[in-house]
Amino acid sequence: MMRTLSRVLLCLSAAVVAACDNEGASRTLGIDATGIVTGSIFLDVNGSGLRDAGDLPFVGARVRLLTSVSRDTVLRGTTGAGGVFRFGTVPVGNYEIVVDETSGTDGANVVILDESSIVVLPGDSLEVNGMFSAEHVTAADIRTMPLLENVFLTGVALHARDIYSDTLLHVMDGLGAIRAVRPRPGMGPVVAGDSVRLHGRVSMRLGQRALEEVTVYVLGSTFIPTLSTLTTAVAATANAGAFDAALVRVNGAPIIDTATVNGSLHLTVNDGSGALVVVLDRAADVAFRAPLPAGVYDAGDRYDLIGILVPTGTGSFVLRPRSAFDLTLR
């Protein structure tokens, strides 16, 4: 049987026979026979919930065997090489196996621990397998949880990896969006619409929650969710931060000013509700690099715009298109 626990997953693979139906003592009195309980524990590196390539044996996990009634500790063990532990002489009886929550590492946030029951009969040889994993959370969870927590987040990549000059990756799930800061290289390409799982540490960037030290696992291809349409004024605050890191649409916004900042063209647009700065990141598209053709992105031109909302650190946000295809001249 398998049981999924919060922050620690403990999976029992033992084929456990029915418990004794006498008075239910945690140990059958007068019987000196014993059984063997062995098992292994691994670190779920990629957050799949399964033991697969890339996962690691968890060495040093402290395992205890408790009597099911009194909950006294009968035996203690620690996983060694290969993440394996063994209780070689277990008296017949009913027990609970507990993995010490303080065994966890930075990558396995062990906070809530549940127990798994076993019944040891004469001559039994039971195998118990488990795993440590970081917690799986939503983008909304990250907005409120403590900093430095190590978590998994599954969502949809809103653009290709490394298209922006500051190497950000933005991911949206059903409850919001989040920014991955400096995702680690070497995990393969990521394109817009990829279903991805991020493993990273909760941090703050420019006044907003983000993930850092991020490893990206591509799960397959899917579709980017329907975009929200905002006015320029609402986009300039990301609706008080609610749309931070989100991919949004702004329609019918005329350019009222242009400026080049650190090699990237900044457009100030205003649909009548308030000004919004649109940053054409020179790394995102060769079409954004100077020198731009005459008559492109001139004051007075009206555009429908798509882009990621990114904080400036001063309470305002800028819109960052992913490529020239995100700007449509009206």
Q: How confident is the model at residue 287 (pLDDT cuts 50, 70, 90)?
A: very high
User: How confident is the model at residue 90, as a pLDDT?
Assistant: 95
Give the model's pLDDT for residue 255.
98
Q: Which two tokens stand for residue 129?
A: 């397998």
Q: CA-CA distance, 198 to 50, in Å (whole number)?
A: 16
What's the rounded mean pLDDT across residues 243-272? 96
pLDDT at 198 over 60: yes
pLDDT at 51: 87
235 φ/ψ angles, rounded to the nearest 5 degrees: -65, -35
DSSP symbol at 168: E
Q: Which range, of 57-71, 98-112, 208-222, 256-270, averages the lowest pLDDT?
A: 98-112
Q: What is the pLDDT of residue 171?
A: 98
With a pLDDT cut of 90, the percent of the chain lying above it is 66
Does the pLDDT of residue 8 top 50, yes or no? no
**Mean pLDDT to the nearest integer, 228-235:** 98
Which of 144, 226, 132, 212 has the alpha carbon at shortest distance from 180?
212
- The predicted pLDDT at position 12 comes to 34
pLDDT confidence of 109, banded at 50, 70, 90?
low
What pLDDT, on the 0 to 100 scale, is given for residue 15? 32
Domain parsing of the chain, residue ranges: 2-14+32-132, 135-221, 228-329
Q: CA 121, 103, 117: angle at the middle one, nearest 5?
A: 25
Find, among 199, 111, 118, the residue nearest to 153 by Cα. 199
Handedness of CA 20, 22, 27, 30 (dihedral sign): negative
Calpha distance 96→119 (Å, rounded) = 9
**Average pLDDT of the segment spanning 254-276:** 96
Q: How far does Cα 46 stand from its chain's mean position?
A: 10
Report pLDDT digits (tens) over 115-154.
478 999 999 999 988 888 888 999 999 999 999 999 999 9
Residue 10: pLDDT over 90: no
| Mean pLDDT calculated for residue range 270-296 | 93
Q: What is the spatial distance between Cα 194 and Cα 218, in angstroms, rounded to a whole number?
A: 7
- What is the predicted pLDDT for the residue at 108? 61
- Top pLDDT among 130 and 233 is at 233
* Average pLDDT score, the chain: 86
CA gap 187, 65 in Å, rounded: 40
Structure confidence at residue 182 as a pLDDT band (50, 70, 90): confident
Class of domain 135-221: mainly beta
Fold matches, 135-221 and 228-329: yes
Rounded CA gap, 67 and 221, in Å?
A: 48
The CATH code that applies to domain 2-14+32-132 is 2.60.40.10
- pLDDT tens for 88-107 read 999 999 999 988 877 766 55
pLDDT value for 291: 86
CATH class of 228-329: mainly beta
